[in-house]
Amino acid sequence: MPDKDKNKIKIKIDSEVGELEAVILHKPGSEIENMTPENAKRALYSDILNKNVANVEYEQFSGVLQKVTNVFFVEKLLIDILENKSTKNSLIDKIFENCKYKELRNILIEKDPKQLASLLIEGVPLPKDSLTNYLSEDYFALQPLHNFFYMRDSASAINNNVLINRMANNVRIRESFIMEAIFENHKRFITNTINPELSRSFSDDLTMEGGDILVARKDILLIGMGTRTTSQAIDYIAKKIDSRESVKHIIVQELPHSPESFIHLDMVFTLLDVDKCMIYKPVILRTNKFYTIHITVSNGKIKSIKHKDNIIEALKDLKMDLKPILCGGKHEHNQIREQWHSGANFFAFAPGKIIGYERNSHTIEALDKEGFEVMSAKDVINEKSNIKKTKKVLVTIHGSELLRGGGGARCMTMPIRRKKID
């Protein structure tokens, strides 16, 4: 690390594809099994997950990243900061501001950091110690964080800052509380956090999630506007992440509100290399169906707002020329099927080196034709394949269980430092 103290990491994300130097992950735990078909919809799932199967798949995913970069796991980071009594009390107080079972606070405050970290993520069953609680339909007094392994959404590193995202659904708000506490208090990280809830212009309409926020270049953000990220949030980002922090352009892509596979921009558009991207063609390139808007920012003020034909053309005008590769290949039937299974959701750990689900065969074929050498995660982990010697590579992971939650490889990562791209 370029920082003087090698034990500290200065947050720096000024691209989607620069060589990855540090990333935060969360291995799915008991929280994903603390769900039934009856409450799956409230947990933002359309199906329930099997922890054992999900963990086997996740070990492939995290195992590959541990081969190429510095990996932090969020539960360990949380345990670290909970060792500080003041931090522990502050986080618990924030969580219980809007929790209807206030008596639970006194139970949690007595737990040691490891126990507390587990409970804050996996949830706390409602004690049946009163008639009111006995009659309650709630099974949990503190809901499990079923979606936390999709690390991308709760906070976004943009250049040297971390934006604490205000999640669109209450069931996920605690994820942002935890990430803010980590970035504010963990001794390993150097950054500045930006929290929209502290803004004088804050309103309930202001919500954003990291799956909608892509750092295309140091001066360019791509932001999806749909069910999870609102126009009010984009206005806030435009004014807060201004040109003094190098961001001068925001390309806004309107997203469909249904089906659920379109919840974030990175479900229809991800960057693969300095000159290539993966797209879901019906949303990104279908003329006049969904708005693409170019916002120019200067010193915290919006200077201009213009319509563009699509993201590809908007970026080309800014001298960022990308060749789109089609999720699902050439046929729309395959595009629809594979987008549903996160076929456009890739994560780049270096320029031209990406990871994604192996089940999307037509997408993989399209990448193979563009020169990406396909390797299995198993072979990379066992060192049968060498990703360091390959210029362009797609590492494939099993994805029958993980994607039931509605996300792919980019969704499961929060990169916090990348190398600069020339």
Amino acid 405: pLDDT: 78
Distance CA 347, CA 336 (A): 20
Q: Which residue in this structure is represented by tokens 């929209």?
A: 196
CATH number of 9-418: 3.75.10.10
Distance CA 13, CA 152 (A): 13
Strands (E), 129-268: 140-142, 155-158, 161-164, 189-190, 192-194, 213-217, 220-225, 249-254
Q: Which residue in this structure is represented by tokens 């906070």?
A: 155
Amino acid 2: pLDDT: 44
Q: What is the mean pLDDT of the chain?
A: 92
Distance CA 6, CA 36 (A): 45
Distance CA 353, CA 392 (A): 5
Contact status, residue 277 vs residue 325, Cβ threshold 8 Å: yes
Instruction: Look at residues 182, 144, 133, 163 and name the one whose alpha carbon lies nearest to residue 24.
Output: 182
Q: Cis peptide before 415, with omega less than 30 degrees from 0?
A: no
Reported as a single tens digit per residue, the pLDDT across 185-241 is 999 999 999 999 887 778 889 999 999 999 999 999 999 999 999 999 999 999 887
Reported as a single tens digit per residue, the pLDDT across 228-278 is 999 999 999 998 875 455 779 999 999 998 877 789 999 999 999 999 999
Please give the structure tokens belonging to residue 7: 């034990």
SS (H, E, C) 3-21: CCCCCCEECEECCCCCCEE
What's the predicted TM-score (pTM) here?
0.94
Reported as a single tens digit per residue, the pLDDT across 345-360 is 999 999 999 999 999 9
What is the mean pLDDT of the segment spanning 94-120? 92
Give the domain ranges of the chain. Answer: 9-418
* C-alpha dihedral, 175 to 16 to 269 to 183, nearest 10°: 10
Q: Which residues are within 8 A (CB) of 159 and not within 5 positions of it... i.e. 6 or more apart?
A: 12, 13, 14, 215, 218, 241, 245, 246, 247
Contact status, residue 347 vs residue 356, Cβ threshold 8 Å: yes
Distance CA 149, CA 341 (A): 17
Burial of residue 37 (CB within 10 Å: 0-12, 13-18, 19+) is exposed
Q: Which segments of 186-296 does DSSP mark as H helices, in order?
A: 231-240, 281-284
- The edge-to-edge listing of strands for the beta sheet with 20-25 is 70-73, 20-25, 414-418
